[in-house]
Amino acid sequence: MELRHLRYFVAVVEEQSFTKAAEKLFIAQPPLSRQIQNLENELGIQLFERGSRPLQTTPAGQFFYQHAVKLLSNAEEIKSMTKRVGMVERVVTMGFVGSLLYGLLPRIVYLYRQQQPHLQIQLIEMSTKEQIQALKEGKIDVGFGRLRISDPAIRRVLLREERLMVAVHVSHPLAKHDKGVYLSDIAEENIFLYPANPKPNFSTQMRAMFSEHGLEPKNFKEVREIQLALGLVAAGEGICVVPESANTIRFPHLHYIPVLDDAAVSPIFLAIRNMDESEDIRSLFDCIYQVYDLEAINYDRTVL
């Protein structure tokens, strides 16, 4: 069985016609019919209901179709990833979630540029979920995100866990708690979450964190982005939970308070293609840990 046999079969199923499938594949109908018959003989089963109009698959044929689509998709992903790894021009494209720009990512990228001047480095903002698909399609080489999204084609490395803070208006009663507050202290507040889309995202992570602590806040409000959320907090409309690095965002009358719960952290992950052990990726890890050393941030170097 070859990939072309799977393509022929999928085309016939989706067009529900040998004639239309042959036109789509730019081949004559008799050879297509013979290829499908050979496939059925190899499998020892009937894939299509004979005489059905439009053409319908048997239960076994439907099962085979679902897995054939997956196999063809995986083959295309492998081709795209391999092409990306084998590019002659040295380009490293990084996907990142926007909130990381308020932390150490700009310093890491700047250092990487200085230490690897021969590389062309490109940055693209995208959600963690979008990064996984972009890696598989060969559109990016590395992704920086905050969500635990697993995929067998992708290797995910936990870089560190960033503490969370609560942003409040300076006149809010919580502003007096400079040493910090617990999630239970803010569960009844109007809480702004961001971003609104696409899911899953940081707002999904925050909802799950409250739920894991047995808390079900009733006054969540989702907004488009972190700047909008903090602007509304500065206007006295509510509060917002943000990563610690976001306290560099300054609005008049905005105050940040640590969240004291042990699990109140937002992880930062680096994602790369499985078995991508190129020198460019190793150099990127070196830059990350050089910055972490300067900031006295703990990390596990054994993940390399």
Classify the C-alpha dihedral 240-245-248-249 as positive or negative: negative
Question: Distance of CA 278 to CAs 3, 98, 109, 266, 292, Å?
Answer: 29, 26, 17, 28, 22
- Which stretch of DSSP H or E encloses residue 164? strand 154-169
What 3-state class would DSSP assign to 99? helix
In whole angstroms, give the CA distance from residue 141 to residue 94. 6
Global pTM value = 0.69
- Residue in the structure block whose two tokens are 């006054």: 219
Structure confidence by residue, pLDDT tens digits, 226-277:
999 999 999 999 999 999 999 999 999 999 999 999 999 999 999 999 888 7
Q: What was the pLDDT predicted at 34?
A: 87
Q: What was the pLDDT predicted at 79?
A: 74
**Buried-state track 192-226, b at ≥16 Cβ within 10 A, e below 16:** bbbbeeeebbbbebbbebbeeeeeebeeeebbeeb
Question: Distance of CA 102 to CAs 49, 98, 106, 146, 292, Å?
Answer: 59, 8, 8, 14, 15
**Tens-digit pLDDT string for the chain (304 aa):** 788 888 888 999 998 888 898 888 888 888 888 888 888 888 898 899 887 788 889 999 899 999 988 888 887 777 767 766 665 557 899 999 999 999 999 999 999 999 998 899 999 999 999 999 999 999 999 999 999 999 999 999 999 999 999 999 999 999 999 899 999 999 999 999 999 888 899 999 999 999 999 999 999 999 999 999 999 999 999 999 999 999 999 999 999 999 999 999 999 999 999 888 788 999 999 999 999 998 888 877 665 4
Q: What was the pLDDT predicted at 108?
A: 96
In whole angstroms, give the CA distance from residue 224 to residue 205. 15
Q: What was the pLDDT predicted at 285?
A: 94
